[in-house]
Amino acid sequence: MRIATFMLAACVAPLWAQEFKLPANLDRLSAKAENSVEVTLDGSLLRLASRFLSDQDHDQAKAKKLMAGLEAIYVRSFEFAGDGGYDMADVDAVRAQLRAPAWSRIVGVKSKRCGKDADVYLKTTENGQIGG
């Protein structure tokens, strides 16, 4: 089985007027996948979840502050029947759309033995801060 996973965290910046759109090639990968998983946590859901975190606990307070600056979290995972189950050009096109300066790849895992790829990207402000 070949597995490709992308996790994207889009953060808010005060002057950003653009709405974030997922790369179109993710739809192509999803259409070719034997199994696919989509997780989307929008800003209102993240704010709701952060209400369950305590301001009294130091770690929870830090997590709550971080969550307040997130616009959304997107996770896309695709499982393919085997080698050749997808076009590497589609994966490369997604990665090309998630390049600096707006995006930073914070995790990249490739396992030839298991046939798994995973990338985690974070969208930041112009000065490199999460959430402005």
In this predicted structure, what is the pLDDT of residue 132?
34
| Residue 52: pLDDT over 90 | yes
Phi/psi for 27 (5° steps) reads -65, -40
Q: How far apart are CA 43 and CA 29, in angstroms?
A: 26
3-state SS assignment for residue 1: coil
In this predicted structure, what is the pLDDT of residue 120?
86
In this predicted structure, what is the pLDDT of residue 59?
94
62-70 average pLDDT score: 85
Residue 81, Cα to own-chain centre: how many angstroms? 23
pTM for this structure?
0.74
HEC-encoded secondary structure of 41-86: EEHHHHHHHHCCCCCCCHHHHHHHHHHHCEEEEEEEEEEECCCCCC
Q: How far apart are CA 89 and CA 92, in angstroms?
A: 5
Q: What are the structure tokens assigned to 106, written together?
A: 């914070």
When computed from its CA atoms, the radius of gyration of the chain, rounded to whole angstroms, is 16
Beta bridge partner(s), residue 8: 74, 121
Tens digits of residue pLDDT in 89-127: 888 888 888 887 778 888 888 888 877 788 888 887 776
Ordered by start, the domain boundaries in the chain are 2-123
